[in-house]
Structure 1
């Protein structure tokens, strides 16, 4: 070889095993710390919001009404759609939801029904209501009134053989009927029903006075005072 000529050198062979094993404990520690940080970030990340229909229906509660009035109408129940964190919104029960009516603006005593908006609130502030169906309920505020009606005796069966029913006496002879104005107006009579037994002596019984309409059908939703005659 001539003097001054450059000497050829070959690159050293990479020792992969040495690269991997060099400072291995330190590398494993760094990897473990990175994994722990990743797990912590995943656990602390906020769950994504989802929109789901509630699995069930929410009964509409009767709101407070002005004194001297009663709310008339079929409140029923509603279906709701909710938005909130996954794992929270889809685990709510009907006990976590409350539906009621907004009756502001309804004229008390008006004979016409009005559509009152249904409001639904949740027990969890992270969950919001995005839809209510039906959105309104048709109701009206009816005046409460009273009237006095005479009580009549009504026999539920025939007396024992050989006896005839005599004219009965009632005390008190009148009762006070209280309730929605339209229902009180339907009262055609008030009956106290008594039943004959096997006794042959005078019959004395206490019975609840029942308001009935012109067809003899009982009228619900009325208060009768006294409740027994």
Structure 2
């Protein structure tokens, strides 16, 4: 691993740190601001689900930490972290609506969901073995095929992350539109919800940048090995 690799790793770490710092600071700020509607995150999620005819999707209190919220399509549950489940804050409303946005995507057959699901299993395998293939492939030019396999697996991870971007941005766009039109947040609170979800989306952008830098480095390294 040469200097360029460590520079790429450093850039990736800084971008990721800044993105995560932004989302945590935004969340910390807006979880303290109570909405005038007084609806908890759980109530927001239930209302939006019912309004969209998704009565079979349950809203449950998760056991994870801060921002461990998710939608599980296999179990049809919107799981909200304890703070977001119980609190009537701008942050809780935004996060709850975002997760319900994913439920609506699944119910309406949003095209990028199907594409992401198709890439999910290959991505899990690639995440487990890509670095192993790269490291072993670097030990000898006789193992170039294994090195190439590692590059292919990193490309699969990148493809999954790129497809995830429209899924996340669309869920946030749906959430913001709904909480504004339904009066869940008022005009003075809407900006905070928007900032909160924008900050969260940037973490996915940071992941794409990090994987792209990683991939470009190994592609260039592959080219230099061919020249040698």
What's the TM-score once normalised by structure 1's chain length?
A: 0.21
Greater Rg over alpha carbons, structure: 1
Higher relative contact order at CA 8 Å, sep ≥6: structure 1 or structure 2?
Answer: 2
- Higher fraction of helix: 2
